[in-house]
């Protein structure tokens, strides 16, 4: 196992606290090898590797309902968890739409206005090869909106063996977790002959409500999920062509940090992609389409005392995305040109099954179209590598007229207020266009045989999301903020602009390696909920009358600052023993007033000791999190105490085909509250309403993998 921090290295393998990571040079797995090697932490999949290669074991448990937990040990990364299948990626204190997440280069546009169907819920661990997290200032080629970073999920593709005879191989995995009786059965089969290949997969998952460390039921956290798909691929010496289809069927799944639970999510994702050479230019292209339908309720999985307050939200999203890039090396360096983007529409209608007259058209044919063109150059000068890129983005958004049945009650105060908000929105100019420019500069230089340095500078922009812009009446359709407040949007929001700097050192000697990074960014026009003013009195009164919210907020442009440090390291005692770890700290503050940013992860660290034998290994991980006292007064955010937990896992290779993995999470059955876990929104629960949700107690898990 190597841990090279030299810029010429092809891979930097790092064992983090509970995962196996590699710092790889490639910006896109299917692209030609770039000249410049900048840090990308790649989390590899936990599939059977064979006894001779068992050092490259991995981390994704098959019993996990989404991919979010793969981020838990990446320096700077964390997860906002609103439910079992709703993990929202956080990187260096920022989350949601600010983080660019792609599946095989395709941005995933969810149907849920509250991010119940997060991008990392649209895949299953068995069909993922790796997850790459860009560290520091993200290159402009890595995505359209990369203000908060970029996560690229590389899914398994059909394997082509170039054999005359039919060749079949695959994997079968099953898993079980005790804390919520989660069960998983998944399989991948690959068939190939000559220059054709086809991969088929199926994944079945379900779980019941979890329990906290003190035995309280975390209801509802049960979930049920089914995923199926295929990838068909053709390749020859100069070109590759692929066709993929993925179906996700999520049934009743609890999200106790949100006002509703998942009733269903039906998603069809289809894509075609290819590579070919064009006059010595390596050309890569993709085209994708997503059709997602999403239903959610506040009464099927939780108690509701008043049937007249039952709510069902039916939402859908359709999107078409594309990308086209060309790369070629010259004497003066490597050039890459790219064109990418997506066209998306969103709808959301809220009804009451016990009152057929009640209806709120929350979002009506909202258009969110984002197009980008970028140029990126990279070159090596002796011991220094330089990469510079710029991206031009054009964002167009619009929305059709909305409606609420409450506006028809013209003789009541409620009806008059609702009618006023409805008319104000419908009569407004709702069409908005933003033209933005992103710039990134990354420099890596070798200071000595053992030490290299990284410098990253960037200017990144993000236009408002459709929720932030078009939420016209007080609702909690906030992209998963989960602070318990109702919000209204602002059509005229300015785009966020971040000025970023990242400084990193990479030091390695024979047995020891460490890579600390410090970062700082000012964000002008940061979009944050603020208290409603006198001009929004109608919205404030409706929020109080409808939901009792005394603190409704409005999406507003403010100024923010984030700074911090994250580090990963390892020490190799001998061939069998290794000690490794990761630590992350970020401080998020408002610059316009004396307040902190909402839902920012506190200082946290993990230390793992690994023992590796020829056909088995054991890992023990200590996770420590300090108290979070820097909370947002604007969001009425609650402080959380610090805690520490211990996790243990074992992997044993029975033979060349069968692997057994097992372990204990939260071995000491600690009762604690994760600061990013949200507040309980469920009446009648064993947890008080608006109290911090506790995390899962002791959980034993086991998985069996068979490769054929």
Q: Residue ranges of the domains in the chain?
A: 12-707
Question: Tokens 């039906």 sit at which residue?
Answer: 266
pLDDT surpassing 70 at residue 12:
no
In tens, the pLDDT along 575-634 reads: 999 999 999 999 999 999 999 999 999 999 999 999 999 899 999 999 999 999 999 999
pLDDT surpassing 60 at residue 384:
yes
Nearest to 316 by CA among 270, 359, 348: 348
> Concatenated DSSP letters for 240-254?
EEEEEEEEEEE-SB-
Q: What is the pLDDT of residue 41?
A: 85
Q: Are strands 577-590 and 512-531 parallel, antiparallel or unpaired?
A: unpaired
Confidence of residue 17 (pLDDT cuts 50, 70, 90): very low
Mean pLDDT value across residues 655-684? 95
Q: Point out the least confidently predicted range of 4-18, 371-385, 667-681.
A: 4-18
Confidence of residue 29 (pLDDT cuts 50, 70, 90): very low
Mean pLDDT value across residues 123-136? 88
Q: Are strands 210-211 and 94-95 parallel, antiparallel or unpaired?
A: unpaired
Nearest to 133 by CA among 47, 78, 71: 71
Distance CA 373, CA 437 (A): 10
Q: Is the Cβ–Cβ distance between 425 and 471 less than 8 Å?
A: no
Mean pLDDT value across residues 9-35? 32
SS (H, E, C) 439-462: EEEEEEEECCCCEEEEEEEEEEEE
Neighbours of 281 (CB within 10 A): 15
pTM of the model: 0.92
Local structure of 614: helix, strand or coil:
coil
Q: Tell me the CATH class for 12-707.
A: mainly beta
Q: Point out the least confidently predicted range of 160-169, 281-290, 293-302, 533-542.
A: 533-542
Nearest to 39 by CA among 485, 452, 321, 641: 452
Confidence of residue 126 (pLDDT cuts 50, 70, 90): confident
Q: What is the pLDDT of residue 191?
A: 97
Mean pLDDT value across residues 201-207? 96
In tens, the pLDDT along 445-483 reads: 999 999 999 999 999 999 999 999 999 999 999 999 999
Between 330 and 16, the more confident residue is 330
Sequence-separated (6 or more) residues with CB below 8 Å from residue 263: 251, 252, 295, 296, 297, 300, 312
Q: What is the pLDDT of residue 238?
A: 86
- Identify the burial level of 268 via C-beta atoms within 10 angstroms of its C-beta, where 0-12 means exposed, 13-18 middle and 19 or more buried: middle
Q: Is the Cβ–Cβ distance between 590 and 528 less than 8 Å?
A: yes
Q: What is the pLDDT of residue 42?
A: 80
pLDDT surpassing 70 at residue 202:
yes
Distance CA 114, CA 346 (A): 12
Q: What is the pLDDT of residue 33?
A: 37
């Amino acid at each position: 196992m190597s841990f090279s921090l030299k810029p010429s290295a092809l891979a930097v393998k790092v064992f983090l606290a509970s995962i196996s990571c590699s710092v790889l040079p490639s910006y896109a797995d299917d692209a030609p090898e770039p000249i410049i090697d900048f840090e990308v932490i790649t989390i590899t999949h936990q599939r059977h590797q064979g006894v001779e290669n068992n050092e490259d074991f991995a981390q994704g448990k098959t019993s996990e309902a989404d991919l979010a937990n793969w981020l838990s040990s990446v320096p700077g990364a964390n997860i906002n968890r609103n439910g079992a299948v709703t993990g929202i990626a956080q990187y260096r204190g920022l989350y949601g739409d600010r983080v660019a997440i792609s599946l095989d280069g395709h941005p995933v546009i969810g149907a849920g206005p509250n991010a119940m169907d997060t991008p990392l819920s649209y895949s299953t661990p068995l069909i993922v090869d790796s997850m790459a997290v860009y560290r520091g200032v993200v290159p402009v080629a890595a995505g359209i909106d990369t203000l908060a970073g970029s996560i690229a999920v590389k899914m398994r593709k059909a394997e082509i063996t170039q054999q005359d005879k039919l060749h079949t191989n695959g994997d079968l995995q099953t898993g079980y977790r005790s804390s919520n009786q989660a069960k998983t059965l998944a399989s991948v089969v690959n068939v190939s002959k000559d220059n054709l290949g086809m991969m088929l997969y199926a994944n079945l998952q379900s779980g019941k409500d979890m329990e906290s460390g003190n035995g309280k039921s975390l209801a509802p956290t049960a979930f049920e999920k089914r995923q199926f798909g295929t990838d068909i691929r053709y390749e020859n010496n100069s070109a590759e062509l692929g066709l993929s289809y993925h179906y996700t069927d999520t049934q009743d799944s609890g999200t106790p940090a949100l006002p509703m639970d998942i009733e269903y999510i039906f998603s069809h994702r289809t894509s075609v992609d290819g590579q070919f050479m064009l006059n010595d230019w390596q050309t890569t292209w993709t085209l994708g389409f997503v059709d997602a339908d999403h239903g959610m309720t506040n009464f099927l999985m939780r108690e509701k005392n008043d049937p007249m307050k039952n709510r069902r939200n039916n939402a859908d999203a359709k999107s078409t995305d594309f990308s086209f890039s060309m790369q070629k090396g010259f004497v003066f360096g490597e050039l890459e040109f790219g064109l990418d983007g997506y066209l998306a529409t969103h709808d959301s209608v809220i009804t009451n099954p016990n009152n057929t007259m009640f209806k709120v058209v929350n979002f009506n044919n909202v258009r969110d179209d984002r197009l980008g063109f970028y140029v990126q150059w990279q070159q090596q000068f002796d011991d220094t590598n330089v990469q510079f890129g710029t991206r031009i983005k054009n964002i167009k958004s619009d929305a059709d007229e909305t409606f609420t049945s409450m506006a028809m009650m013209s003789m009541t105060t409620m009806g008059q207020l609702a009618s006023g908000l409805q008319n104000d929105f419908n009569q407004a100019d709702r069409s908005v266009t933003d033209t933005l420019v992103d710039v990134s500069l990354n420099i890596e230089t070798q200071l000595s045989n053992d030490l290299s340095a990284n410098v990253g500078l960037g200017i990144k922009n993000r236009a408002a999301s459709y929720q932030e812009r078009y939420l016209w009446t007080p609702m909690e359709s906030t992209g998963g903020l989960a602070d318990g407040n109702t919000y209204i949007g602002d059509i005229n929001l300015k785009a966020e602009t971040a000025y970023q700097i990242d400084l990193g050192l990479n030091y390695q000697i024979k047995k020891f390696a460490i890579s600390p990074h410090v970062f700082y960014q000012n964000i002008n026009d940061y979009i944050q909920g603020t208290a409603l003013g006198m001009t929004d009195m109608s919205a404030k009164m409706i929020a109080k009358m409808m939901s009792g919210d005394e603190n409704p907020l409005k999406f507003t442009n403010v100024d923010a600052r984030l700074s911090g440090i994250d580090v990963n390291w390892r020490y190799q005692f001998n061939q069998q023993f290794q000690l490794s770890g990761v630590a992350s700290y970020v401080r998020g503050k408002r610059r316009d007033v004396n307040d902190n940013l909402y839902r920012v992860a506190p200082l946290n660290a993990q230390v793992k000791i690994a023992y590796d034998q020829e056909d088995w290994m054991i890992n023990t991980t200590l996770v420590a999190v300090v108290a979070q006292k820097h909370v947002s007064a604007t969001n009425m955010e609650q402080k959380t105490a610090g805690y520490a937990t211990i996790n243990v896992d074992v992997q044993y290779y029975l033979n060349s085909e069968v692997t057994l993995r097992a372990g204990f999470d939260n071995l000491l059955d600690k009762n604690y509250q994760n600061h990013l876990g949200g507040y309980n929104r469920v009446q009648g629960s064993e947890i008080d309403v608006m109290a911090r949700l506790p995390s899962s107690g002791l959980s034993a898990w086991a998985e069996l993998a068979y490769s054929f």
